[in-house]
Structure formats: structure tokens, C-alpha cells
Structure 1
Amino acid sequence: MLPSRFRPSLLALLLAAAFAAPAGAASVAQGAPANSATPATHAITHEDVWLMKRVGAPVPSPDGKWAVFSVTDPAYDSKEQWSDLWIKSLTDDTPARRLTFSKGGEGGVSWSPDSRQLVFTAKRDGDEASQLYRLDVAAGGEAQRLTTLTLGARLPKWSPDGKQLLFTSDIFPGNASEADVKQSAKERKERKTSARAYESFPPRYFDRWLDDKQVRLFVMDAQPGAVARDLLAGSKLAALPGFGGAQGDDGQSLDALWTPDGKAVVFAAATNRLDAASTPTITQLYAVALAGGEPQALTADTHSYHAMQFAPDGKTLFCLTEAETKGKVYDLTRLASLPWPVGQAQPAILTAGLDRSISRYALPEGARRVYFSYEHAGLEQLHSMAYDGGAVRDEPSAATGAISALRAGGKALVGVWESSVNPPEVVAFNGARSKRLTDFNTARAASIDWQPPEHFWFQAADGRQIHNMLIKPPGFDPHKKYPLFAVIHGGAANMWRDQFVLRWNYHLLAQPGYVVLLTDYKGSTGYGEEFARAIQFDPLKGPADELNQAVDVAIQKYAYIDGDKLAAGGASYGGHLANWLQATTTRYKAIVSHAGEMDLVMQWGTSDSIHNRETNSGGPVWSDLPVWREQSPVMQAGNHDKGTGFLTPILISVGELDYRVPANNALMNFATQQRLHVPSKLLVFPDENHWILKGENSRYFYNEVHGWLAKYLK
């Protein structure tokens, strides 16, 4: 392959290919490419799941003619895994083409206003932290490194005139320049002690201990070697002890965008991060002039705001918001708007009449409508409403599956669609029906013997309607009997989706010959605010009762389910519920618990998030509230002597780097089972966090789950 500096312009290649290549695109309703004969199928394997190409969110160009997205070519050995950017024409059926050829992968893609250049983040040529790179898509050639910052750069955005870049980076306390940052980093590297010190909560997040970096917004000319300037330098806002952004895997981020005239930047930030142990972290909207100075508050209430976008005409600022209702465990994410300039206006809540959380939204040019998706009964489909709110209109999208990304560029509207039997592909939503634009996984998916989920509902004891999906094994025969594996989702503010998943793939779990039951118990999202809040003060018992009832309904409804061969399992909050079922009933022959809570008090004190747990239980652990003891699985150990719990064989697994549900829960669980002489097995993954993310670890985990179920169900 020629080095990119010798390659012709990619746009020229795509135009040439348009006259030589077949279309290859299809409606997302189709499960296989057109004109293909029905192939012989096989039962799904771990290789099928792990080696499916992973298609990232498409970023359409401002002129609506192109979409760029990442594609990861996975491997069991992470050293052999590749991730690159691909580009797809949105105006014809030219197949997608690879845009970059680098093993490390790229992120934070942003188009220039003239739709000719990209800026992205990557680690290349010995970069210790991600830097900004600029690629001339129209002219071709190598990407140019724009930054060499000690702490790297992330989330770049072009200015409206295409001359400057806005991005997020970090400084250490007291730093005023890049030279200061470099010196501070050197001093930390040369320290002879490895001790960490903390004076605020939380000290750690998911799988890493936090440090003292402070997040900032920077602006620089879009040229190599240009000096980056801290927009918040010297401001009273950034100097507040509780100032910061949303915490993520790469550190804190400040959600930010340019104003339409390019003279200022709008961003979302919190000022109460030091109070995270006792109150929600509230993010408000601010604007700071391009010249710097003190940011102006655009909102001043108790809501949180994020995901801002300006309407194409620049007259309206849209965003997503949560009410952060005091004393409530969950709030819907709603769509809000502000006139621009804001002046004294208050945010208008556009979806106040919609009892669903908005997942994502987009603003195509000329439509004067906001397009969005939300969860409902296992699906995420496309909807819209006028800029000023009003009635919600259903838009053309697949009747099954879920939209997992959505972006607008010009008049184009693109995203990612997937289902449990259709791994992710890029789709276009313009026109009378959605159109699949890529075929990275369709051939492999067509070779697998799998069926879409079957949906059913039942009425719970408290009158709520409970939604379920049923997954059938390969070679399914309705005249046979199959064991049932009830798999429990995490969250609890989550929902089972008709979606291709990696960590608990429905069809791979069913592959040995099990029917898999997926139930959205109370506390789940996708059924309204009250349904999600119903878990409050009843964190485990109520949801578990509904899971047991779902099993009863499934056995009664489907004659092919063997009611004498039942198993249950889940991860995270699903692991909490798996532990509760093992502690309170003997109806299941086997239990699988990954990252499961064993004691509410211990989990409150050792996890990286405590306020929501306190809110859910009704008060602090030292209050005289029975829930802390009565709904802790370990405190039900007396059920063992009564013959009503702590008898079912249990497979327990945990990642040592899990700081969300720390490993002490799994250790307590295993100790309890061994003390009571219950058949039990503990799997510890030293290099994994809350999830099992490494290929061979994942394969081992699925093999252990299948082995455990086979031992007690077959």
C-alpha cells in the first residue's frame, strides 16, 4: 500500500469508485445484502461476537455530502487491533472508504466549515497523550499534528470561520502556561513517593484513581505549532474549588461550542463538585468571550444542562437538561431551548409533555424541526417536533432495534442503527425510509442462526405493565423443552434494548440451548419517570419480585420452557439482583453474579458514587432506616437455615479494578457462600474494571458461564 503522501485525493478516489463499484446499500429493514443467496447458518460463537467490526458514530460534513466515522477491526490480542476513520458519500451509493491507516485510532472528529478538512485526536509517533491532528480530506496527504501539549488535547471544534480551534485540555493547580504544566508534570514524575492525598470526594472513578488536574478550555489557530490560549485563565469561575466538568475515562470534559458569530464560546460546567458526596453535581451554562475574561452565566437554577447545539440559523440554543429534583432518584432527560442571544430568557422545556428521556437529538438545515430518539420498550426510534415544541411526530425509522447515534450536517441526518441480530451500521434517515449506508457486518450476521427477540408484556402485582424480550437458541424447535436463563440488566436506570451487545450478548448466552428472558423491572428507563423512580426505598425486593413473576408468566405462556430448569444472572445492578435472588429464593438451579453488591452499607462506603445510593434508600447509612439491613443480600444469610435462600450454586465474578462496585462485594459474597457450604466459584480478573473488556478474558468468562449453567441445568 502506498504511503498516504503518494495517494491521490480521497474525494477523487471516491468519485472514481462511484462509476465502478456496486451500490451495496439497503434499507435497514433488510438483514442481508440484496441479491445474496440464503447461506448456510451456524450457531453463534464468541468469535462472531468479539470480531464483529465496531462502527462508531458518523459525523456528517456541514454541506451534508459526506460522513466520517470510526471502524474498529477487533482482535483477541489488543496489539493486533486496528481502528481507523472511514468516509462515506451521502449523495450517492459509493461504498465507504478508509480514510486513515493508523493502528492507534482517532477520536473527537470535527469537520471544517467548508467541509474540506478534519481535525481529530490521536496518539501518534510516540505521543504520550492524545494530540490534535488536521487532515485535508479534499487534497489528500498526511495528517498534520497541531499540538504538542504535555497533557494532550480532546474534543476539538472548528470556529465558524474555519481559522481557529476550540478544545479541552488540563492544567495542574497554579499553572499559567504550557511551560508551567510541563514543569509540574516533571515534578510529579520525579516524586519519590507513590502516595495519593485527597480532600474531596470521590477519590476514584470506575477503574482509576483521580488526580489533581484541572480542566480548561483552550483556543488556538488551526495551524501546526500555534500557541494555545486558556480561555478561562484568571477567571473567578474557574478558580472556584468546586469548578469542573463531567468525569469520563479521559478525565473531566467541558461540553462546549462556538457561538454562531465566533466571538464567544458556550460551555457547561459545575461549581459544586466538592459536594459530590452529599448532593448532585449541577452543570449550568456559561458564555465566555473569545478574548477571555469572566464567563457570563446563561442559566442560574437547580437543573443540569449539557449537549448544546445551535439551530442552523443561529437564533436558538438547544440543549438537554435534567431537573435534579431533590430527594428523587431519577429525572427524565428533556429537550430545552433558549433564544440567542439569551438575555434574561429562561430555558423552555420542549418535551415537558413527553414522559420519556431524550437520548440524542439533531438539527438538520431547513427542517425547522428537532429530530431525536428515546427509549421505549426495548426500542429507540426516530421522532421530531417543531423548534418551539408541540406535538411529537414519529419519523421513518426501523420498526425494530435501536438508534445509537444521531447527527445532522447540512440537510443530511445520519446515525447508527442496530438490533440484536443486526450489528451496528451507519444509516441515513432522510426520505421515506431509513437507508443503510454500510455493510461491515451484514455478511457475518447473515451466517448466524439467530432470531429477533419476541416481545411480551404482563401486569405486575402493583398494576404496572412490565415489558420483556425472549431470545431463542439456535436450531430452535417449539416442540422441545428448554431451560430458562433470566438475565438481569444493570442500572437500575437502564433498559434492555433490541441491540447487538458485546458483554452479555443475548444470543451467545442462549447458544448452548437456553431460552433467555430479558425483563424491564420497575426502576428501568423507557417507561416514564414514575416507573424509573418506583425503585426508590425498595432497591432490591420489588424489582426481584417482578423478575420472579416474569419467569412465572414466561413458563405459563411458552410451553417450550422447562419450568424445572431455571437460572438467573446479571452484572452491576443486575448482579445486585442476582445476589438478592440467591439470598431469598431456591427456585433457580444456578445463579451468575458479576460486579454484584452484597451489602448496601459496604457498597455505599466503598464505591465511587454514594449520594444516589443514599437517596435511593431514603437517608444515610447511620439513620434508623430498615432498608439498609433488610435489603442487603448478606443480611439474609439466616434464610439458609430456613431453607429459603443461600442454597443455590452461584458463580461470582469481579474485576479487581472495579471502583464502581468494588471487589470487596465479591469477596464477601464468596466468603458467605463458603461459610454456608454453598457450591460457589469466584472468578477474579486482575486487569479488568466494571466490565470485562479484553478478548481472551471475555471468552473465558462466557465459557465459565456456559459451564456453570450446564453443570446445574443439564
Structure 2
Amino acid sequence: MKRLLYILMLGMAIENASAQSKQTMTPELLWKLGRLGSSNLTTDGKHLIYTVTHYNMAEAKSEANIYSVPVTGGAPTAITHESAGRQIVKVNPDGSIIYFFDDHLYQMDGTGKQVTKLSDKALADADNVQISPDGKKIMFSREVPVVKILGKDRFADLPKSNAYVFTDLNYRHWDTWEDGKFSHVFVADYDNGKVSNEKDIMVDEPYDTPQKPSGGAEDLIFSPDSKSIIYVCKKKFGKAYAISTNTDLYQYDIATGTTSNLTEGMMGYDTSPAFTKAGNKLAWLSMKEDGYESDKNDIVIKDLKTGNKVNLTEKWDETVSSFQFSDDGNRIFFVAPKNGTEQLFQIDLRLRLAPGSPQAIRQVTNGQWDVNDIIAQTGNTLYVQRADLNHANEIYSVSLTNGSMAQVTSINKAVYDNLPLSRVDERHIKTTDNKDMLAWVIYPPDFDPAKKYPTLLFCQGGPQAPLTQAYSFRWNFQLMAAQGYIIIAPNRRGMPGHGVEWNREISGDWGGQPIKDYLSAIDDIAKEPYVDKSRLGCVGASYGGYSVYMLAGVHEGRFKTFIAHDGLFDLKSWYGTTEELWFANKDMGGNYWDKDNKVAQKSYDKFNPSNLVSQWNTPIMVIQGGKDYRVPIEQGLGAYQAAQLKGIKSKLLYLPDENHWVLKPQNALVWQREFFGWLKETL
């Protein structure tokens, strides 16, 4: 009897110890995770160099350090040990690293020691620094004053003026007011750190390279022979800039100082130029339609010897996210959305098929994850970044023979090993027009089908952004599920990964079929016995926030609570204050005063959430960034004020220093605490 009692007590002790060792994902734990940044492969192909960012919540700042790990995996080596904001410029054949910090170039060995300051001259305010392949030139971008907009620039005797004077659009963009400065490309002679003969290759041009707000080093590259620079630029100003997406690739000849347009007549976005290592071919991403920022993204390739240009993905029914040439130039590897995921594909340029033939394209990887970034190739192995809804980005190797993947880095292993993971199911739903719609369903880690759970409908932004296996540090499904919620995240109309037509169908129909798709999704999951139909919530940001405001007026009692972040509430006032008008013109169908434009009038009338406020009757939380010029402040304030005046239980979370995202660590933690506090209170 004593032995039996001992065994039972021992079993209980082991079970309790196991339970105590397991953690629950919380906002605080999420912000302790390391975040994988840029990655490089050493010249000998034996090590991966990468950055990891950690956040210090108490000091509200980040610290990014550099690490090295063998390509076969194993324990990483920390190369740096303190925050320094380094930009890795080049990994040398001997393993040493050239980096840019505090306006100077430095070099350190592969262990982070033997640091040498290379540059004798400060490259003040430089960004996107690159050294030419032959090591004789250096290129970077820098903000330069071009147009006099500020009062102190217009009137020399008024140096303390903070006035702005505008006579044209664009007067602000994303989260910044236009101040007359533009990001230009500079080139200079370079000799082992010594920089001389610095030259602005875009002198006096009121245009930006990289493209704002999110362009980077991919917008400016050296040619393999170091004789020219290719850069991406939209050479339009004022209203022409605000209504167009027509960027072009420009080639600047360093010796002659002449510039030529390589994509003349190609009217949409042309971005991400890349050469083969041999320098005989140039490829880039290209959209066809001017003003359509979510058009199909194709890979176009040009033979620089013959001048022949081919659209390699023209007949492929999907859009491309990013690409890279193989080392021998015979293949192109690319990432694209596919059925609610992002996968790796390849095009074999040696296959003699019709230009743009989909038969030349092969899917390399396949699984419930996102391949996010192609790092480099060595032999028959490709290195990529990969994430899923339970794991933040890590580096993986991919076999180009069979698509098998092996994890190389384990940045957050200590956390995930003690964290119960969520079950993620792929669910297929019939829409009101009898089409098949994929949705991701994420369950609490301890899901018990015999119980009933509150359930959240997640409304994706974009509106033409893929809803895949991406790991977000704000809209984190793992975190939501860990608080006891089931989440259904449908790939409604407008999302890439399900064919070009599915992606296009949302333009001009924001409040139509996509909203019906959302209702189909929540109605479908609500049939399950484990869903508490009396506790359904709806959350989303941007177009997802718009969807929340729309659904608040048409949900017919389905939802018990709503949360909208930076959502579009009144489309007329939004059209009058947003900045990238090409987006509004395409997705609304035009402006609101053209009474003969039936598509636009439908958008501003029938599909305008502010026109449905009379039907609002459900608690709603509104979140609004003060520096969001894409969906400006009046949108959130208008929605909150309407709810308050109607006597609806409501809350406003105002973030004065945040743009369309939430970037400051303590603000992000407030966001998550208020988010889950509201759900606990109202759901």
C-alpha cells in the first residue's frame, strides 16, 4: 500500500513539474524573442553571418548583434556583444567583415575582434552603403535638400520658423511631412577605406532612391563589372507622383556620367534589379498597370548581349514576392504565395519552352510554413529564412533536389522547447458565390474539443496582402490562441496565392464579396460544437480595420465585440487626406465627386462604413496611430466619436508617435495588454 501511494505521489510530482516547466505565450514573452535580421553566406560557403535583435523593454530600445553559425548547424558564435546599429557591407573571402557604423567604415575579423577603422573621412548621414565588386568604388544614399518648402529655407532671415509651404502634392508620405529633401544615390572612389571624389548622380532631381517608405539597398546595385549603377526611381513629382506607381530602372555609367532608362514604356512598378554573376543577364520584378500597386508581379529578364527581353512568369497564374539568380546563372529561385503559404520556386532558364511558360516553373518546397527570404546558394543547397504561425524566422537549408529542409539556426529554442504550441488547421469554406476559400484555424495549445471556446475572426489588411504562415510580433495568432481563443483567418477575396483573378476581385468591391467572405468564414466555424456562438469577436487592421467597421453595421448580431486598428471609417474624408492616391483611385474606382463614375459612387456610398453607423450596436475598441498618414487620424477619431455618441461601449487607444504600425516596444506592449484586456472585458 505504501509503495502504491509512493508511486502515485511520484507520478503527480512529475506531472506537476512538467506542467510548471511549460510556459504560456504572453505579450511579455513574445517581446523577449530574438528576431532574425539580415543574413549572409561567407565566401567559402561554410558559415552564415546573421543579425539578431533583442528588445530591452525597461529601456524601450533594441539591441542588434551579429552571429556566425556553421551551415551544418550547431552552436552560434556571437561576433558582437553590444548594440551598435552596424550595417554589414561586405563579408571578405578571409571571413573578415566590413561594416558601416557612426558614419565610418570598419573591419573586424570573424570573431568580432581586431576591429580596424577603415575610412579616414566620415560619410555623414549615409545609408545603404555598398562597395563595388572590384573594390574601387563605393555607393550610398543620402538625403539632400532640393526643393524649398520649410519657412526657414524660403526666408533666410527667419531661421526659427517651423512653417511648411506647399503648392502641390505629395505634402506628406507614410509618417513624414515633405521637407524638400530627397534621398539621392552617391558614388565615390574607394581605396581600402579611403573615400574621395564623392558625386551625387541624381543632382537637383526631386526624386527618391531608395523608394519611400520601405525601399532599401535592393533599389541600388553595382553592375558585376563595376562600371555602372542600376537604381530604382519614380521620376515624377507633385500630383503626378501621388497618382502613379510607375518606377523605372535607371543605369548610370560611372565613366561618362550618363543615365539611361532601362524600362522605358513599362508602366507599373519595376523593382529589385539583379545581375547574374557573369553580368550577361539582368532581371527584375515588374508590374504592368500604372496606379495598381498590387498588380501581378512578374520576373522580367534581359539578355544584355542581344537585348532580348522576356517575361518569365507572364503565363503563370500567381505573383512573385522576391527572387535570386543561381550561382551559374542558369536558374532563378523565387518566393511566391501559394494556398495560404509562401513557398520557394525555381525557373530553369535552360529549358527551351515558350517565353513565360508555366512549364518552366517548378515548386521546390511544400509545407505549412512561409519561406520569407532567399539568402544564398552553395552547390545544390539554398539557404532561406522560414517561419510558421508557431515559430519566428530561422535560417533553413533547402535541398534543390527534393525540397527537403533542415533548420540551421535555433534563436528561440529555449523558449519554444517549453512552450505548448497551437494546432493550425487548413479549412476550406464555400463562399456565397460557391467558390472554395481557404482559411487558417488556430486553436489554443490545450485545445479540448469537448469544451466551448470564444472565437475571433481575423480580418487581414492590405487589402491585397497574403495571409500566410507569417509570424507577426503584433497580430500574433500564437499569442491570441494562448489566451484561450480560437482564431479563424480566411484568405478572402483579394489575397494573392489563389490565382490572379482572386487577387484582383477586391478592387472596386471593398464592401461587397470580401465582406460576404468574412461572414461565410465565421458562420462556417461557428457550426463546430467547440465554438461558443455567443462569444464571437472580430478584429483587424488597415483594410482589416475597415472590414471591422463594415461588419459592425451588417453582422446582424453575430459578434459580441470588435477591435479596429487604423481602419478606414469614412472614405470621403480618407480620400481627402491620404497620400498615395494611386491606391485610392484603383481600389475605390476614382474620386468621390465624379457622379458619373458608378464604381466610385458605390464605394463612397454603399461601401462606406460611416454610412452604416445607424446600425452599430456592439462594443468596439478603436486604435489609431497619430503619425499614420496612410489612414490618417480622423478615421479612428470619427469611428470612436460615433460609437460614443450612440452610447455604445467603446474604447480609444491613441498612439501619437506611431504610424500605420506600432514600432516602439512599450507602446506595443500597451497595445497587446489593452487588446486582450478589451477581449476579456467584452467577450
Q: Tell me if both proteins adopt one fold, taking TM over 0.5 as the criterion.
A: yes
Q: Which residue of 2 aligns with 1:7?
A: none
1:482 alignment counterpart = 453
Alpha-carbon distance between aligned partners in 2 of 1:281 and 1:307, rounded to the nearest angstrom = 15
Partner residue of 2:42 out of 58, 61, 69: 61
Aligned counterpart, 2:90: 110
Residues 38 and 168 (structure 1 numbering): CA distance in 2 closer, same or farther, change over 3 Å?
farther
Partner SS, residue 227 of structure 1: strand
More displaced stretch, 676-685 vs 459-468: 459-468
Describe the shift of the 1:239–1:292 C-alpha distance in structure 2 as closer, same or farther (beyond 3 A).
Answer: farther
Residue deviations 1:586-612, cap 9 Å, x none?
321100011111100111111222221
Worse overlay, 305-314 or 663-672? 305-314
Asked if structure 1 preserves the Cα contact closer than 8 Å seen for 2:462 and 2:542, the reply is yes
Q: Aligned ranges for residues 383-398 of structure 1 at < 5 Å? A: 383-387=345-349, 390=357, 391-394=359-362, 396-397=364-365
2:125 aligns with 152
663-672 vs 151-160, which moves further:
151-160
On the 8 A contact 1:555/1:563 being kept in 2, the answer is: yes
Whether 1:548 aligns to 2:527 is no
CA contact 2:170–2:242 (8 Å) conserved in 1: no
Aligned to 2:409: 438
Q: Residue 357 of structure 1 contacts residue 374 of structure 1 at CA under 8 Å; is this kept in 2?
A: yes
> What residue ranges of structure 1 are gaps of 5+ in the alignment?
1-36, 124-129, 176-183, 639-644
| Structure 1 partner of 2:228 | 264
Instruction: Indicate yes or no: 2:114 matched with 1:141.
Output: yes
> Which aligned pairs between 1:565-604 and structure 2 lie closer than 5 A?
565-585=535-555, 586-604=557-575
Distance in 1, matches of 2:419 and 2:68, equals: 28
Which stretch has the larger CA shift, 284-293 or 48-57?
Answer: 284-293
The residue that corresponds to 2:502 in the other structure is 531
Tell me, in whole angstroms, the C-alpha distance in 1 between the residues paired with 2:208 and 2:451.
61
Q: Is the 1:655–1:686 contact (alpha carbons within 8 Å) kept by the matching residues of 2? A: yes
Which moved further from structure 2: 592-601 or 702-711?
A: 702-711
Distance 1:571 1:688, change over 3 A: same
* Inter-partner Cα distance in structure 2 for 1:582 and 1:355: 35
Are residue 95 (structure 1) and residue 78 (structure 2) matched?
A: no
CA distance in 1: counterparts of 2:112 and 2:479, whole angstroms:
45
The corresponding residue for 2:323 is 361
Mapping 1:168-187, distance limit 5 Å:
168-173=141-146
Q: Is residue 2:84 matched to residue 1:122? A: no
1:138 Cα deviation after fit: 8.6
The 3-state SS of whatever aligns with 2:392 is: strand
Q: Secondary structure at the match of 1:68?
A: strand
- Counterpart of 2:635 in structure 1 is 665
The alpha carbon displacement at 1:491 in A equals 0.5
Once the two structures are TM-superposed, the CA of residue 117 in structure 1 deviates from its matched residue by 4.2
Contact 1:583 1:646 in 2 (8 A): yes
Structure 1 residue 347 corresponds to structure 2 residue 345: no
Cα distance in structure 1, aligned partners of 2:362 and 2:221: 29
Q: How many pairs were matched up?
A: 645
- For the pair 1:505 / 2:476, whether they are aligned, the reply is yes
Distance 1:47 1:217, change over 3 A: same
1:507-522 counterparts in 2 under 5 A?
507-522=478-493
* Structure 1 counterpart of 2:163: 195
SS of the residue 2:672 aligns to: helix
SS of the residue corresponding to residue 525 of structure 2 reads: helix
Q: What secondary structure sits across from 2:642 in the alignment?
A: helix
Report if the CA contact (8 A) 1:489-1:573 is conserved.
yes
The amino acid of 2:405's aligned partner reads: S
Kindly provide the amino acid, as one letter, of the partner of residue 165 in structure 1.
I
1:290 corresponds to: 254
Q: Is the 8 A contact 2:320 2:335 kept in 1?
A: yes
Structure 1 residues 77 and 171, CA, compared in 2 at 3 Å: closer, same or farther?
same
Q: Which residue of 2 aligns with 1:126?
A: none
Pick one of 269, 274, 283 that aligns with 1:318. Answer: 283
Matched, 1:166 2:136: no
Are 2:73 and 2:409, in contact at CA under 8 Å, matched by a contact in 1? no
SS in 1 for 2:394: strand
How far is the alpha carbon of 1:94 from its aligned partner? Answer: 5.0
Report the 3-state secondary structure (helix = DSSP H, G, I; strand = E; otherwise coil) of the residue aligned with 2:526.
helix
Selected match of 2:610 from 623, 628, 634: 634
Corresponding residue number in structure 2 for 1:382:
344
User: CA separation of 1:81/1:284 partners in 2, compared to 1, >3 Å: closer, same or farther?
Assistant: closer
Q: Is the 8 A contact 1:136 1:143 kept in 2?
A: no
CA contact (8 A) 2:61 2:665 kept: no
* Residue 459 of structure 1: how far off its partner (Å): 2.3
TM-score normalised over the length of structure 1 = 0.84
Tell me, in whole angstroms, the C-alpha distance in 2 between the residues paired with 1:155 and 1:42: 40
What's the % identity of the aligned pairs?
23
Are the equivalent residues in 1 in contact too, given 2:21–2:418 (CA < 8 A)?
yes
For the aligned residue pairs, the C-alpha RMSD in angstroms reads 2.9
Match of 1:422 in 2: 391
> Which of 92-101 and 566-575 deviates more?
92-101
Report if the CA contact (8 A) 1:89-1:96 is conserved: yes
**Alignment pair present for 1:459 and 2:435:** no
| Other-structure match for 1:27 | none
Q: Which moved more, 1:223-232 or 1:512-521?
A: 223-232
Structure 2 residue identity aligned to 1:101: H
Residue deviations 1:483-522 (CA, integer Å, cap 9, x gap)? 1111111100112221321011112122232111101111
Which deviates more, 205-214 or 43-52? 205-214
Q: Secondary structure at the match of 1:58?
A: strand
Please state how far the C-alpha of 1:110 moved relative to its aligned partner.
3.2
Provide the rounded CA distance (Å) in 2 between the counterparts of 1:521 and 1:54: 29
Corresponding letter in the other structure for 2:549: N
**Matched residue of 2:345: which SS?**
strand
- Partners of 2:388 and 2:125 in 1: how far apart? 36
CA distance in structure 2 between the partners assigned to 1:97 and 1:252 by the alignment: 28
CA 1:597–1:174: 2 relative to 1, 3 Å: closer
Q: Which of 259, 276, 279 is matched with 2:243 structurally?
A: 279
Q: Structure 1's 303 and 684: CA in aligned 2 closer, same or farther, altered over 3 A? A: closer
Which structure 2 segments of 5+ residues have no match? 1-17, 351-355, 596-600
1:56 partner SS: strand
Contact 2:139 2:185 in 1 (8 A): no
